[in-house]
Amino acid sequence: MFKSNHKYFILQIMIMLLLSSLSITAQNQITVSEFLNSIKESEQVKIDSNTVSLLNDYNYNLPIIKSAQFRTETNDLVLERQEYTFRLKPNSIRAMSDQKELYQKRIEAVTVKNQLGFNEDLKDRYILILDYYFSNKLIKLYKEKQIQLEDKLNILSHSIYEVKFDVEDLIDAEDELLETNLKLIMLKESSNNQFELLKQSLNYHGDSLTFNFDNFISPSEISTISIRDTIPTEPLNITLQKLKMYTLENEMELTAAKSKQILDYVQARYAAKKNDIFDESFSLGLGINLPFFGNTRSKKGEYYLKIINEESKLSKLKSKNIDNNKLVNEEFNTANLNFQILQKQNKESSIGLLLETYKKMEGAPPLQLVNLKILQNKKSIEVLKSKHELYKKYILTLAYQEVLFQKPLINYLSSTKELIDP
């Protein structure tokens, strides 16, 4: 009875340890969507959000009363003959309206800058996770190549005394193995650096972090995807440049409104008359600005020059955007075409069929067999590199079209276009 209970107790402990291990593993496994979603916790996103929040909460309206002054003056140093003046300086209705519009444009400009930054940061995260994914795929292929070349050198070393032995074949194989080893070192270093950047982005300090690349979008889905319908009506850089122009116009209007303000002040004055201390008088006064003087015209000229300069920048920016749009689309189409061609050539190549035939043959030449494997591996590496380029151009195109940051946030590397933050 005791032994039975003892075995049952040990079994329970083993099950608990297994479940605990699975739980830890699950916690340390991150999906691509979870990695992309972690951008919301980044310091820059929090700073941008707080900046907009503070600007929205700030009371930027011009008050109705610009200033209030209380003045006093003594006549003949007699307290009973003291004079008192209370003066109010108002803001014009036009100036208050222009100030409100000016500040709104500045808030819009900050918001657009934040959107541009968010789109750029998301693009960098997409590229980082892609580089890490394909680096590991490439490492695997180069390791296979390393083993194949070592097998080839082993075969060649046993055939040194044969009549058909070619020393140049041995030298070439050694050179290729050296290049492969160096390439592996570089790839592993890149992969480690990418992994550290991924952990840094996630604010993760452990070592057992893994990424789940299930539901990864296929090249055929990328090739047929249509993103034109999701493009904003106006690029953010154009919107930002227009806001700069509008801000200058608002500043000019605000300056003009202040200079054209007719009513400068309203005042009430109390004073005792000099001849009779018991006789008092009250008076009201107005201050009127004459719009014939001042440097308003020169200030307007400065604003007009600045606005013309910003209009010129806007025109150049529009032209540059058209050229860049063509270039980005051409690069994506080229990457897509290159991958399709290489993939088709690899599928239609007779190397695979020949390799399978050699494997089934008894007494098949081992050197020819390993040469076919090496050649097939080279083709696989080229296909993988072109696939990596296709995925990068796909994300860069989406980033250029300013799709990545659009709400709701979508994982564009998922086959089902899953929501990053459902």
Q: Average pLDDT of 195-211?
A: 87
The answer, yes or no, to whether residue 94 has pLDDT greater than 60, is: yes
The answer, yes or no, to whether residue 183 has pLDDT greater than 80, is: yes
- Which is higher by pLDDT, 292 or 300? 300
Of 29-33, 300-304, 390-394, the one with minimum mean pLDDT is 300-304
Q: How confident is the model at residue 298 (pLDDT cuts 50, 70, 90)?
A: low
- Which is higher by pLDDT, 213 or 284? 213
Q: For residue 307, what pLDDT is reported?
A: 82
Using the Cα atoms of residue 318, residue 319, residue 320 and residue 322 in order, give the sign of their dihedral.
Answer: positive
12-38 pLDDT, tens per residue? 555 554 544 443 344 588 899 999 988
Exposed/middle/buried for residue 4 (C-beta within 10 Å: 0-12, 13-18, 19+): exposed
394-416 pLDDT, tens per residue? 999 999 988 888 888 899 999 98
356-367 pLDDT, tens per residue? 776 666 666 888
35-61 pLDDT, tens per residue? 998 887 766 666 666 666 666 666 566
As a whole number of Å, the CA-based R_g of the chain is: 38
Q: How many residues does the structure list for the chain?
A: 422
Residue 237 amino acid letter = N
Q: For residue 24, what pLDDT is reported?
A: 35
φ and ψ of 381, to 5 deg: -65, -45
Tokens of 77: 């140093």
Q: How confident is the model at residue 2 (pLDDT cuts 50, 70, 90)?
A: very low
The answer, yes or no, to whether residue 209 has pLDDT greater than 60, is: yes
Using the Cα atoms of residue 34, residue 35, residue 37 and residue 43 in order, give the sign of their dihedral.
Answer: positive
Q: What is the mean pLDDT of the chain?
A: 79
High-pLDDT (> 70) share of the chain, %: 71
Q: Average pLDDT of 385-392?
A: 96
* Buried-state track 15-43, b at ≥16 Cβ within 10 A, e below 16: eeeeeeeeeeeeeeebbbbebbbbbeebe
Q: For residue 64, what pLDDT is reported?
A: 66
